[in-house]
Amino acid sequence: MKVPKLFIPGPTHVTDEILSAMSKKQIGHRTPEISRIIEEIIEGIKNLLYTENKILLMSNPASALWEMGTNNSVNKGVLHAVNGAFSKKWLKISKQYNYHSESIDYDWGKAIKVEDIDKLLSTGKFDVFAMVHNETSTGVMSNLEEISNLLLNKYPDIIWLVDSVSSMAGTKIEIDKLGIDYIFSSTQKAWGLPAGFSVCAFSDKIYQKSKKIPGRGYYLNLESYDKSIRKNQTLTTPSIPHLYGLKYVLKKIKEEGLENRWDRHISMAQTTREWALNHGQKLFPEKGYESNTLTCIENLKIWDINNINEKFLERGFRMDRGYGILRTKAFRISHMGNIYMDDLIEYLEIFDEIIKN
C-alpha cells in the first residue's frame, strides 16, 4: 500500500530528498566531524530564530521540554495560559510537579489576551509565565509582540516560556527582540522532519536563574548542557539522522530565504481560509488570531468528515478530522514545512471533488 501524503499538523510531510539526506552512515558523537555539523546547524537555527541565545539539540519529543522549562525557572509559581489541548497538558504537568501553578482559562478557539496576563502577574504570585504560541488543537496563534510589550515593560523579572512546537520554522519569531527566555519546538511540525527530536533556545536570564534552583536532576537541567554546547556536541548520543536532516533542511531554508518562507506560510494560510469561507464554513479561531501553519475549520456545513477522510485515503492523502473533542466538528488543514502552494492547491482541489460527489 502506498503511504498517504500527510496533511495533518504533525507529523508533517517529509520529502524523499530529506529522507535520503538523513540516511547516511553513523559517525562518532565525540568527533570533529560531528562538531562541524552541529556548528553549522546552530548557526542556521540562530539565524532562523533571530537570536544569540544558546541552542539545545535534543533527541527527545518536545513534550520533555515542557518540564525542562519549568524545572529551570519556577521558584514562586508559574502562570499558564490555557487555550487548547497542548497548553492544558503543560499546566497538568506543572501540577504533577506540585509547583504553585494557576491558569488563565480560555474557551477553545480564543487567543491569549495581554490584559489577563497583566491582571494575574500583578498579584506577585508568579515568577514564570508559560504559554503555547500556536495552539495546534484549535489553530489559534497568539500575538507574541503584544505579550512581549507587557512583559518587557512591566514584568522584566518574569521568565517567559513559549511552546512554539507548531510555529517555529513556519512563522517569524524574533526571539531576542521579543525577549523570550525559553522557546522550543520538535522537528515533525514546521521543520518538516521526522518526529523524535527537539530544538530549544534559552536566554542567559533563565540560565542564571536556573543555577540557583536546587534539585533539577540531570537530563532536563540546563546546566548539564554547558560543556557540550561549548564543544558543539550534544549531551548524550544524538539521533544522527536528525542532525543530517536539520543540516539539510536549514540549507533548503537558506536557499528559500527567510522572508520568502514566512510569506509562503502566510499565503498558504490565506488561501486555505478563503477556500473555507467560500464553502460556507467558518474559521474556528477568533478573528485576527488564525495560525499561519495550519487552519482549523469549524464544520458549519456538517460535512461528513469521516467519509471525506476515507475518500482522501483512497486518493493517497491523510487528512485531519479535528483534535480530540473537536473531531468532525472542527477539522484542520496543515500547510507547513514541506507543503508548498502547489501541494495545497492540489489538496484543496481533491477536497472539492470529494465533497461534490
Q: How far apart are CB 48 and ligand PLP at their closest, in Å?
A: 18
Residues 113-132 that bind ligand PLP (CB under 6 A): 132
Phi first, then psi, for residue 146 (nearest 5°) are -60, -45
State CA 205 to chain mean position distance: 22
Q: How far apart are CB 138 and ligand PLP at their closest, in Å?
A: 10
The contact mask relative to ligand PLP for 72-101 (x = CB under 6 A, - = no) is: --------------x---------------
- The beta strands (E) that lie in 43-83 are given as 54-58, 78-82
Q: How far apart are CB 163 and ligand PLP at their closest, in Å?
A: 5
Q: What is the dihedral of CA 296, 298, 299, 305, to 10 degrees?
A: 30
Q: How far apart are CB 156 and ligand PLP at their closest, in Å?
A: 26
Strand duo 294-298 + 282-283: pairing: antiparallel
Q: How far apart are CB 167 and ligand PLP at their closest, in Å?
A: 8
Amino acid at the residue 328: T
Give the nearer residue to ligand PLP in terms of CB position, either 175 or 354.
Answer: 175
Grid coordinates 479535528 are at which residue?
Answer: 322
* Grid cell in block for residue 167: 510555529
Binding ligand PLP (rule: CB under 6 A), the pick from 82, 104, 130, 165 is 165
Task: Tell me: does residue 171 bind ligand PLP (CB under 6 A).
Answer: no
Q: How far apart are CB 143 and ligand PLP at their closest, in Å?
A: 16
Amino acid at the residue 182: Y
- Say if CB 232 and CB 208 are below 8 A apart: no
The contact mask relative to ligand PLP for 181-220 (x = CB under 6 A, - = no) is: -----x--x-----x-------------------------
Per CB under 6 A, which region of 26-34, 58-66, 109-117, 332-340 contacts ligand PLP? 58-66
Binding ligand PLP (rule: CB under 6 A), the pick from 35, 63, 143, 149 is 63
Task: Tell me: does residue 136 bind ligand PLP (CB under 6 A).
Answer: yes
Phi first, then psi, for residue 104 (nearest 5°) are -100, 115
Q: What is the dihedral of CA 327, 329, 330, 332, to 10 degrees?
A: 50
Instruction: State the number of CA atoms in the 13 A half-sphere of 313 facing the CB.
Output: 9
Helix (H) or strand (E) holding 201: strand 198-202
Helix (H) or strand (E) holding 329: none
Residues 1-20 that bind ligand PLP (CB under 6 A): 10
Q: How far apart are CB 278 and ligand PLP at their closest, in Å?
A: 27
Q: Which residues bind ligand PLP (CB under 6 A)?
A: 10, 61-63, 86, 132, 136, 163, 165-166, 186, 189, 195
